[in-house]
């Protein structure tokens, strides 16, 4: 019910015209981001996204997408990580609308920084995601993550 209530409040606050304007702005920003990602050597869009959420994968085996996320984190961006398939996803929000160009500039620089640098794949969350992806018995992943975060935050 929370999503329905939030949608109702948004429509009431913005009005139908304002809501439709915001939806168009979000779709335009998403289209610009998808096209920008397609122009970055080493990255690709996964699937055929139709709305304001899409996944980014590595088109080059020398690009560790989790290391790209770590570099982006260092630049102040919060990247949403996926494991299966190994990728990132972006959920485009109104706060992204004015920073599309900045995000793409940093994403391109992060991809170039990571390409071929295996040391970045062994540090940060890239190392954790990469290691977890190789565990054949997925039943132990939850236990591992609980212990990992206990050690990190103790």
Structural domains counted in the chain = 1
Lowest-confidence range among 2-16, 18-32, 54-68, 94-108? 2-16
pLDDT value at 149 more than 80: no
d(CA 133, CA 85): 10
Question: What local confidence, expressed as pLDDT, does residue 126 receive?
Answer: 47
- pTM listed for this prediction: 0.78
Which residues contact residue 66 at a Cβ distance below 8 angstroms, ignoring those fewer than 6 apart? 81, 86, 121, 125, 126, 129, 130
pLDDT value at 78 more than 50:
yes
Which pLDDT belongs to residue 35? 98
Q: Which two tokens stand for residue 88?
A: 């990132």
* Residues 109-148 pLDDT 10s: 999 999 988 777 666 664 555 555 556 666 776 776 777 7
Whichever domain contains 140, its CATH number is 3.90.1150.10
What range defines the domain where residue 50 resides? 2-152
> Does pLDDT of 91 surpass 80?
yes
- Report whether 111 contacts 64 (CB < 8 A): no
Q: Which residue would you say has higher pLDDT here, 154 or 14? A: 14
Mean pLDDT value of segment 9-32: 94
């Amino acid at each position: 019910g929370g999503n329905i209530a939030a949608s109702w409040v948004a429509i009431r606050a913005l009005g139908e015209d304002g809501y439709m304007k915001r939806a168009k702005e979000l779709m335009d920003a998403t289209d610009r981001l998808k096209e920008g990602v397609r122009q970055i050597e080493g990255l690709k869009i996964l699937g055929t996204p139709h709305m304001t959420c899409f996944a980014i994968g590595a088109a080059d085996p020398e690009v560790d997408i989790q290391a790209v996320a770590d570099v982006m984190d260092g630049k102040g961006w919060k990247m949403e990580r996926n494991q299966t398939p190994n990728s990132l996803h972006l959920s485009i929000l109104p706060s992204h609308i004015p920073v599309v160009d900045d995000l793409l500039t940093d994403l391109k620089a992060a991809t170039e920084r990571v390409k071929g640098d295996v040391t970045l794949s062994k540090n940060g969350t890239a190392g954790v995601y990469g290691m977890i992806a190789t565990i054949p018995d997925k039943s132990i992943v939850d236990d591992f993550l609980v212990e990992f975060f206990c050690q990190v935050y103790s």
